[in-house]
Structure 1
Amino acid sequence: MLFRKGRESQNVEDRRGSHFGGGRTIGIGTIVLALVAMYFGIDPSIVLDTAGVTQSPAPESAKDAAPRSPAEDELARFASLVLADTEDTWGPIFEAGGQKYQEPRMVLFTGATRSGCGVGEAAMGPFYCPADHKVYLDLSFFNELQQRFRAPGDFAQAYVIAHEVGHHVQNLLGISGKVQEARERASEREANQLSVRLELQADCFAGVWAHHADRTRQILEAGDVEEALGAATAIGDDQLQRRTQGRVMPDSFTHGSSAQRVRWFRAGLEKGSVRACDTFNATNL
């Protein structure tokens, strides 16, 4: 990517190294359920309490914080650059539609942190909380993306951030609220399908950002799109289930298959239009 010397966002809250106390044990199934709850503004402590998890978090504190490496500081700066670029993209798009874009904040944290949706943990991966309009990111996820998911590259990292900002766009447009209301009336299978459509639309919105950012600021280099597509493929539900469970169960998908995630990111990238991202009326995802 070509904007490493660009503007950094003023909407970054750096909590890296802050201590967040409270010992607890969380199963992978509970983590997944809590993550889904957070996407929809539901306090994940409800899920954790149901699972019998004891929570006694201590206040966050920077006391005795571990020193930050230059490599991690560079990742933090890169995340700030990407967030700034999403601001420069979505602001004009909203303005063209007669609306004002409310910029989200990004919280960089280590291990665990409080959010408006409850306690967020690194094991959940990056997430967006609609209750406080913040994107939460433990930078160690980028290392996991490269080493565990075999999806290296700066544009793969940018795609992840742009996807979470896509959830913020959905929140501002009132889409997230409508989906949550529909999920409350739906069966588990139908609720999962709604989650998939929401996630695929966020992928498409990430593509819309990349389209406009490259058209106006020429950010893309050779191989960048392939990096994003590699990340979308690596974190598809089918790939994750195959890796962790040894089998694929489509009815339990919440984010979409690898092919679906790639397809909708491409749709946003090629067309650059919010209207091209209507996953909820699409007959073929």
Structure 2
Amino acid sequence: MTFQGSGGLDTSGVRAGGSGGGGGGFGGGKIAIGGGAGLLLTIVALLFGINPGDITGGGGTSAYQQSNDVGSNEALQQQIDDCTIELANTSDVCRIVATTNSLNKVWPTLMKGYTAPKTVIFSGSINTGCGAASSAMGPFYCPADETAYFDPSFFADLKRMGGSDGPLAQEYVVAHEFAHHIENLTGVLAKGQRMGNEGSVRIELQADCLAGVWAYHADKGPDAMLEPLTDEQIDSVIKTARAIGDDTIQGARSNPESWTHGSADQRVRWFKIGYADGDPRRCDTFATNDL
């Protein structure tokens, strides 16, 4: 249990989507970021060590049109609409919704000009402003439509990979994708895209740090949605960050030059930097050679 209070949640920015069915696994599927003039094709928000160079070039769109997939999953949409704070402590879907509510309370206090991203909870496959995607991709953010996409079945896969499916670990996943939206708003995303794998690593580590910033603030103040976080809950995030480090995923054959998300130690370190005092200015991974 992490959310406190009772009552309904703001679901206005969250929609259901996807074909239904399918899901699980990692690998396969292609997605490209399209849209604005000069926007480079890449993938920026996957939590897992998939090389952007391996998956760009397929399924892109030159201009975003609202996908017919969004809102097509009526049962899932009803579940979203019925979410309450109480259900956020037992339902993965409602936990995603509640986390978006918390993020959209915290970030306006920290960032001038913050605008909330849209959120799509989907199952199976879905069309996005960045092209076609599937559950196999894991959670991702598409800057072309400024939307974070989540398939709740991912959390079970995360646990099988050695991460945690605890509430705060799941919320960290959502916060990480929202952090990519913040990077999109600040221009960091475009900067990292021009740098290849090195830029991708810096983007992902900054997102981990910004997720830590959110966690620091999310349980503070009279309007805090989260109960005071415990050491055990923070440990569940650290366990998850270690499980999705490039060196953990790639194993003994890991080659740092191929990394796109950073090592297990780097991901833990940057989350801790953000969580230490909740200052987003400390998350500038582009201003240091000590990742």
Normalising by structure 1, we get a TM-score of 0.78
1:46 and 1:232 map into 2 onto residues whose CA distance is 25
Deviations 1:201-225 (A, max 9, x none): 0000000000111233244134110
Deviations 1:65-124 (A, max 9, x none): 9x98x9998211111001100001001112xxxx22111111001111011111121111
1:20 and 1:34 map into 2 onto residues whose CA distance is 23
How is 1:265-276 mapped onto 2 (pairs within 5 angstroms)?
Answer: 265-276=271-282
1:91 aligns with 2:104: no
Q: Which residue of 2 aligns with 1:227?
A: 236
In angstroms, what is the RMSD of aligned CA positions? Answer: 3.3
Sort the Cα spacing of 1:120 and 1:283 in 2 relative to 1 into closer, same or farther, 3 A. Answer: same
Aligned length: 253
- Tell me which of 78, 82, 98 is aligned to 1:81: 98
- Structure number with greater CO (CA < 8 Å, separation at least 6) is 2
Q: Which residue of 2 aligns with 1:176?
A: 189
Equivalent residue of 1:114, what SS? strand
1:120 aligns with 2:133: yes
Deviations 1:130-168 (A, max 9, x none): 111110001000111123334231111011110000000
Query: Do the aligned partners of 2:141 and 2:180 also contact (CA within 8 Å) in 1?
Result: yes
- Tell me which of 127, 130, 142 is aligned to 1:129: 142
Identity %: 37
Q: Which residue of 1 aligns with 2:57?
A: 47
Query: Do the aligned partners of 1:4 and 1:78 also contact (CA within 8 Å) in 2?
Result: no
One-letter code of the match for 1:283? N
Query: Do the aligned partners of 2:96 and 2:174 also contact (CA within 8 Å) in 1?
Result: yes
Query: Do the aligned partners of 1:20 and 1:59 also contact (CA within 8 Å) in 2?
Result: no
Query: Do the aligned partners of 1:267 and 1:277 also contact (CA within 8 Å) in 2?
Result: yes
One-letter code of the match for 2:150? L
State the Cα distance separating 1:178 from its structure 2 match: 2.2
Equivalent residue of 1:223, what SS? helix
Sort the Cα spacing of 1:49 and 1:103 in 2 relative to 1 into closer, same or farther, 3 A. Answer: closer
Query: Whose helix proportion is higher, 1 or 2?
Result: 1
Q: Which residue of 2 aligns with 1:278?
A: 284
One-letter code of the match for 1:233? R
1:198 and 1:178 map into 2 onto residues whose CA distance is 9
1:229 and 1:156 map into 2 onto residues whose CA distance is 8
Query: Do the aligned partners of 1:4 and 1:81 also contact (CA within 8 Å) in 2?
Result: no
Unaligned runs of 5+ in 1: 22-26, 51-57, 184-190
Normalising by structure 2, we get a TM-score of 0.76
Q: Which residue of 1 aligns with 2:124?
A: 111
Deviations 1:162-198 (A, max 9, x none): 0000000101111112222x23xxxxxxx11111001
Q: Which residue of 1 aligns with 2:64?
A: none
Deviations 1:215-254 (A, max 9, x none): 3324413411001101100000001111xxx521111000
Sort the Cα spacing of 1:204 and 1:151 in 2 relative to 1 into closer, same or farther, 3 A. Answer: same
1:208 and 1:63 map into 2 onto residues whose CA distance is 35
Q: Which residue of 2 aligns with 1:13?
A: 15
1:251 and 1:45 map into 2 onto residues whose CA distance is 17
1:204 and 1:213 map into 2 onto residues whose CA distance is 14
How is 1:104-253 mapped onto 2 (pairs within 5 angstroms)?
Answer: 104-180=117-193, 182-183=194-195, 191-216=196-221, 217=224, 218-242=227-251, 246-253=252-259
Unaligned runs of 5+ in 2: 34-40, 46-51, 61-66
One-letter code of the match for 1:129? C
Q: Which residue of 2 aligns with 1:53?
A: none
Q: Which residue of 1 aligns with 2:3?
A: 3
